[in-house]
């Protein structure tokens, strides 16, 4: 149901579009007007290509870029007025409205835009809504190899080895090939002699087989992610599927030790090449080419997934809920937004080969979780980070030392204090371990403060109150950290 306010706003935009179309039409009928329209405009090329097409006749009308932009505003306004707004794509609706406006405007008996605005908008919403579907997306990626398994599930996402996946769809691809050949033969027979010559020259080589097409589709990776998405616009569905897959891959890197998850990625993402070719010389005419290859993907034991479910059940529950809500378009609440940001920052840090940016990403992943206030950034980072990172085998004091070092490295990088930076991979390795422990513990806390379901809680105040309770429980450890002055950082480096 379109509200009266939205109708009036859309009618005003429609009046502007019609007036622009009339202005451009009148100007183009005279030499001076055409020169003004196409040569003297602020951006004449943009004006010339901003057109509306009348589909029944194929005639095009120049209306200008500002008028074209009004369709995007109309579509955004219509979608924002709906309960299922996240399931819509404004571009799809805008394109449909552009393609149907002139058919309504040139209809018999139409005297003004007020007569057509409501039926035009309602028909656009109805037609675009009818195009929404439940989609299953198949995205090539690099996933973890669990033992000898050819497929496994991560929440709503199923990972299949591409060879197994191809065997499952081979019969369907064969049927597609046969149908394609029949249609191609029919089109060739029905074509005129001159068209047949063109088709012969264009199709000089044999058509690509289904196996070749699939090999190109999944080139360079070994896995296909099968991702079902609830009913929505195709463009929205594709974005949700890729976002959910990236969450799953980022979470997988969180469950692996160190940088073992650095290779996890969606096909097409930038990555370190498997083959490295190098050329060197001692300054003579003799050149020394060398090549090196890096094989394989991250691997885990057969029992790895079962071990995760038994020991990291709460963390898996949060990750699976993040994937589910992303696929269904449910807005994430505060705690889940924090969890998603932290997991993503950590995964980016694992993949980063630059030690300085790796440290910055680790610090960002932690800092977005500890909720510092103005003037307490360093203390919150060290104390609250240590509360999350400590384990029975790792004291809070040890964690505080790592946290203090990480924050100092982060500040030195940000403020250009090159002489104070540590060298080697030691700081990076310690930072990754510390950040991983912090993020994992925060995800476990999310299960307590973020009940999974429709009536979710877990506001910023809830998490702050949790930290206050923990600070009261670990008062002796915190006093020792303050005594060691690990929560301090030189003035002027705290931002």
DSSP state, residue 391: B
Distance CA 368, CA 335 (A): 11
Alpha-carbon gap, residue 320 to 276, rounded angstroms: 37
Give the three-state DSSP class for 152: strand
**Cβ pair 343, 364 in contact under 8 A:** no
Going by the DSSP 8-state scheme, the letter that residue 206 receives in this structure is: P
**Rounded to an integer, what distance in angstroms lies between the CA atom of residue 437 and that of residue 144?**
21
Q: What pLDDT does 62 receive? A: 80
User: Given 83, 100, 131, which residue is the final one in a domain?
Assistant: 131
**335 in any annotated domain:** yes
Please report which residue ranges of 329-449 form alpha helices under DSSP H: 334-351, 355-370, 377-379, 385-389, 396-414, 426-449
Residue 52 lies in a domain: yes
Which of helix, strand or coil describes residue 301?
coil
The residue range of the domain holding 47 is: 4-131
Residue that is last in its domain, among 104, 131, 158: 131
Within-domain flag for 176: no
Quote the pLDDT of residue 493. Answer: 46
Rounded CA gap, 23 and 381, in Å?
61
| Residues found in the chain | 495
281 lies in a domain? Answer: no
CA separation for the pair 220, 218 (Å, rounded): 6
Q: What is the pLDDT of residue 495?
A: 47
Look at residue 185 and tell me if it is in a domain: no
In a domain, 50, yes or no: yes
The dihedral of CA 320, 323, 327, 330: what is its sign? positive
Cβ within 8 Å of residue 331, ≥6 positions away: 86
Tell which of 81, 114, 131 closes a domain.
131
List, in sequence order, every beta strand (DSSP E) within 169-294. 223-232, 265-266, 275-281, 287-293
Number of folded domains that form the chain = 2
| Residues 477, 471 contacting (CB under 8 angstroms) | no
Map residue 395 onto helix, strand or coil.
coil
Backbone angles phi, psi at 422, to 5 degrees: -80, 160
Would residue 472 count as lying in a domain?
yes
Please, which residues bridge with residue 316 across strands? none
Q: How many CA atoms lie within 13 A of 317 on its CB side?
A: 16
Q: Which two tokens stand for residue 268?
A: 């097409």
Name the 3-class secondary structure at 160: strand
Supply the pLDDT for residue 294.
67
For the chain of 495 residues, list the mean pLDDT of each consecutive stretch of 10.
Answer: 90 91 76 57 57 83 85 95 93 94 89 91 96 97 94 94 90 75 79 77 65 85 96 97 97 93 90 77 81 77 89 92 94 92 96 92 96 86 96 93 93 83 80 96 88 70 92 94 77 48
SS3 137: strand
- The interaxial angle of helices 460-473 and 334-351, nearest 10 deg, is 70
Beta strands in 235-283, from DSSP E residues, in sequence order: 265-266, 275-281
Give a yes or no: residue 168 inside a domain.
Answer: no
Q: Of 157, 93, 155, nearest to 124 (Cα)? A: 93
Tokens coding 89: 């794509």
pLDDT score of 430: 94
Which helix or strand (DSSP H or E) is residue 443 part of?
Answer: helix 426-449
Radius of gyration of the chain (CA): 30
- CB neighbours of residue 193 within 10 Å: 6
């Amino acid at each position: 149901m379109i509200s009266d306010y939205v109708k009036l706003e859309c009618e005003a935009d429609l009046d502007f579009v019609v007036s622009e179309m009339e202005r451009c039409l009148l100007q183009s009928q005279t030499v001076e007007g055409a020169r003004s329209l196409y040569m003297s405009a602020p951006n004449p090329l943009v004006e010339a290509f901003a057109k509306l097409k009348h589909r029944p006749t194929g005639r095009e009308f120049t209306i200008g870029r500002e008028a074209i932009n009004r369709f995007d505003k109309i579509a955004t306004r219509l979608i924002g007025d709906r309960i299922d707004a996240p399931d819509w794509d404004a571009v799809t609706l805008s394109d449909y409205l552009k393609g149907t406006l002139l058919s309504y405007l040139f209809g018999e008996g139409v005297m003004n835009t007020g007569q057509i605005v409501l039926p035009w908008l309602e028909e656009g919403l109805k037609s675009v809504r009818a195009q929404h579907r439940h989609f299953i997306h198949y995205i090539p990626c690099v996933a973890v190899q669990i033992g000898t398994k050819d497929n496994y599930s991560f929440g709503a996402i199923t990972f299949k080895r591409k060879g197994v996946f191809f065997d499952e769809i081979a019969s369907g691809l064969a049927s597609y090939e046969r149908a394609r050949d029949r249609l191609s033969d029919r089109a060739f027979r029905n074509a005129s002699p001159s068209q047949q010559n063109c088709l012969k020259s264009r199709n000089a080589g044999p058509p690509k087989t289904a196996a070749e097409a699939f090999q190109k589709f999944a080139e360079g990776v070994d896995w296909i992610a099968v991702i079902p998405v609830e009913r929505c616009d195709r463009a929205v569905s594709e974005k949700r599927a890729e976002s959910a897959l990236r969450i799953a891959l980022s979470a997988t890197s969180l469950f692996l030790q160190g940088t073992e998850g650095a290779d996890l990625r969606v096909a097409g993402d930038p990555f370190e090449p498997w083959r490295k070719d190098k050329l060197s010389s001692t300054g003579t005419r003799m050149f020394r080419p060398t090549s090196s290859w890096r094989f394989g993907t991250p691997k885990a034991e057969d029992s790895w997934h079962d071990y995760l479910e038994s020991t990291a059940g709460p963390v898996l529950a949060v990750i699976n809920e993040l994937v589910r809500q992303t696929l269904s378009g449910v807005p994430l609440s505060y705690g889940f937004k924090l969890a998603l940001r932290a997991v993503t920052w950590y995964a980016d840090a694992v993949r980063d080969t630059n030690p300085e940016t790796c440290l910055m990403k680790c610090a960002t992943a932690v800092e977005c979780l500890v909720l510092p206030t103005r003037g307490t950034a360093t203390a919150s980072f060290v104390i609250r980070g240590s509360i999350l990172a400590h384990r029975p085998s790792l004291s809070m004091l040890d964690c505080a030392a790592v946290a203090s070092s990480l924050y100092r490295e982060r500040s030195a990088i940000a403020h250009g204090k090159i002489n104070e930076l540590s060298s080697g991979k030691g700081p990076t390795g310690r930072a990754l371990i510390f950040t991983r422990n912090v993020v994992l513990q925060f995800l476990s806390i999310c299960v307590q403060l973020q009940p999974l379901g429709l009536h979710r809680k877990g506001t910023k105040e809830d998490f702050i109150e949790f930290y206050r309770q923990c600070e009261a429980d670990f008062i002796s450890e915190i006093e020792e950290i303050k005594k060691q002055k690990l929560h301090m950082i030189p003035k002027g480096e705290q931002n």
